[in-house]
């Protein structure tokens, strides 16, 4: 949405809602109308390309150290980002979790927290990955 619909000026609420309806909602509706010959399908579940599956397979072959915690009916996985030079440890995870959401500025978050440890949460009932979460930049 931000790529196509960044407003350069502030609008009164009435005008904003009008622009929202006419410029965004109608366009999205037309783009996703199956009658339209160039329509964009609306997916209810993630769609992964062969390229993404190949990259995931290549990454899995790297034998990255991953820590797992069971939390009720879900598993939480922690792994070091590619920018970290050492293997992940339980102490690093605890430190990261204790400091998480306690940064005082966006710059502090960017430099110290966003690219060090990634957290992946997978529910036991999530057979296709549609409700799993990941804190890595691609999915965050």
For the beta carbon of residue 122, count every other beta carbon within 10 angstroms. Answer: 16
The answer to whether residue 58 sits within a structural domain is no
Same domain, 30 and 67: no
The answer to whether residue 139 sits within a structural domain is no
The answer to whether residue 54 sits within a structural domain is no
The answer to whether residue 52 sits within a structural domain is no
Element at 80 (helix H, strand E): strand 74-80
Q: What is the pLDDT of residue 140?
A: 47
Domain count, the chain: 2
Domain that holds residue 72: 63-134
pLDDT over 90 at 18, yes or no: no
Q: What is the pLDDT of residue 104?
A: 84
Average pLDDT over residues 66-82: 89
Same domain, 116 and 73: yes
Average pLDDT over residues 67-71: 91
The answer to whether residue 103 sits within a structural domain is yes
Same domain, 77 and 37: no
In this structure, what DSSP letter does residue 122 have? E
Reported confidence tier of residue 76, pLDDT bands at 50, 70, 90 = very high
Same domain, 84 and 125: yes
The answer to whether residue 123 sits within a structural domain is yes
pLDDT over 70 at 89, yes or no: yes
The answer to whether residue 3 sits within a structural domain is no
Distance, in Å, from the CA atom of 27 to the CA atom of 73, rounded to the nearest integer, reads 40
Average pLDDT over residues 82-110: 82
Query: Strand 74-80 and strand 133-134: pairing?
Result: unpaired
The answer to whether residue 104 sits within a structural domain is yes
The better pLDDT of the pair 67, 87 is held by: 67
Max mean pLDDT range (38-47, 74-83, 106-115, 127-136):
74-83
């Amino acid at each position: 949405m931000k790529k196509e619909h960044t407003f350069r000026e502030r609008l009164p609420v009435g005008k904003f809602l009008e622009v929202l309806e006419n410029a965004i909602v109608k366009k999205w509706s037309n783009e996703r109308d199956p009658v339209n010959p160039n329509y964009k399908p609306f997916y209810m579940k993630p769609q992964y390309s062969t390229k993404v599956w190949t990259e995931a397979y290549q990454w899995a072959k790297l034998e990255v150290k991953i820590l797992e915690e069971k939390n009720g009916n879900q598993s939480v996985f922690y792994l070091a980002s590619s920018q970290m030079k050492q293997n992940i440890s339980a102490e690093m995870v605890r430190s990261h979790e204790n400091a998480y959401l306690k940064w005082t500025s966006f710059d502090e978050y960017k430099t110290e927290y966003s690219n060090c440890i990634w957290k992946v949460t997978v529910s036991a009932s999530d057979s296709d990955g549609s409700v799993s979460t990941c804190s890595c930049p691609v999915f965050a």
